Amino acid sequence: MKMVAPWTRLCSNSRCLCCHVGTGTILLGVWYLILNAVVLLIVLSALADPDHYHFSSSELGGDFEFMDDANMCIATAISVLMTLICAMATYGAYKQRAAWIIPFFCYQIFDFALNTLVAVTILVSPNSIQEYIRQLPPDFPYKDDIMSVNPTCLVLIILLFISIILAFKGYLISCVWNCYQYINGRNSSGVLVYVTSNDTTVLLPPYDDATVNSATKEPPPLYVSA
């Protein structure tokens, strides 16, 4: 006979790839943290030496200035915010603080929604891909090869690629959500404990309640999760 807590019954089989949801969320947060830290360093380098990162309108194939002050300030703010959110998620998963994971989870939902919107746009207006490719700079790598591909095949390839990305992102969202639920279950007060054997399951009250009226009796053994 062994004692099993409810969160263990619900989440013991939850995995993020080959790891537990807690470990997977920590690794995911560290990975996003590294990526956003690198982006932040690049943006700060561009602010320190704008001439080195300057792109003319002809190089970008458009009539706008990419490295102006407004765009750089927005990029810096987004990079700092994303670095903070990823750090919070990593800390929350490591220290078992469920509330710290919520901003990262919301970012995942927002990112998933944007990618879904891109897929819907391509599906509704497939000609937009060809138009976008034409607007790329003349020296863009493999531009001519991409333009030579059949438009229908190109749309199907891009949709397949986006579908794979969406499926993977959805899986990572479920892992982070399972981690949030797992931490909430572990940290909740007054948790009920199940004692299971081969053919029976008995629901025990919380340990504190079991010892309230047993001053004259020997207290029950401590509940230990298997």
The label of the residue with tokens 């590294």 reads 34
Contacts of 62 by beta carbon, 8 Å cutoff, 6+ apart: 135
- pLDDT tens digits for range 167-204: 999 999 999 999 998 888 877 754 444 445 555 444 45
Query: Distance (Å, rounded) from C-alpha 219 to C-alpha 60?
Result: 75
The sheet that has 2-4: what strands, in order across it? 2-4, 193-196, 201-204
Residue 18 in this model has a pLDDT that exceeds 80: no
Three-state DSSP class for residue 27: helix
pLDDT range class, residue 211, cuts 50, 70, 90: low
Q: Are 4 and 226 in contact (CB under 8 A)?
A: yes
Residue 104 in this model has a pLDDT that exceeds 90: yes
pTM score, two decimals?
0.68
Residue 3 in this model has a pLDDT that exceeds 50: no
What's the average model confidence in pLDDT over 72-83? Answer: 88
Q: What angle do CA 110, 114, 117 make, to 5 degrees?
A: 140
What's the average model confidence in pLDDT over 18-37? Answer: 89
pLDDT range class, residue 116, cuts 50, 70, 90: very high
- pLDDT tens digits for range 29-55: 999 999 999 988 988 887 777 666 555
